[in-house]
Amino acid sequence: MEQDKLDEILGDYICIKALEDSVTVIGLTRGRDTKFHHTEKLDKGEVMIAQFTENTAAIKIRGKATILTKMGELSSD
């Protein structure tokens, strides 16, 4: 497998667990101008696994959730 494909597959992931209804997860683009490129709504108990890619530079979370990363666990309020 090509190294570029491996890097893409093995990119950083985060896991988001909604602790209330209507938690919003927003993917933000890379580049000179940061823009929203994807939005998801999670209800209480739902889990989403998200990956940082060549298109996704940041992930914004609105609402109460637990977030797991390779650096540890944190909560949003």
**Residue ranges making up the domain that contains 35:** 3-76
pLDDT of amino acid 6: 61
CA pseudo-torsion sign 71, 66, 23, 45: positive
Which tokens hold the place of 6? 């491996």
pLDDT at residue number 33: 77
pLDDT < 70 stretches in the chain: 1, 4-10
CATH classification of the domain holding 14: 2.60.40.50
- Considering its fold, how many domains does the chain have in total? 1
Structure confidence at residue 7 (pLDDT): 63
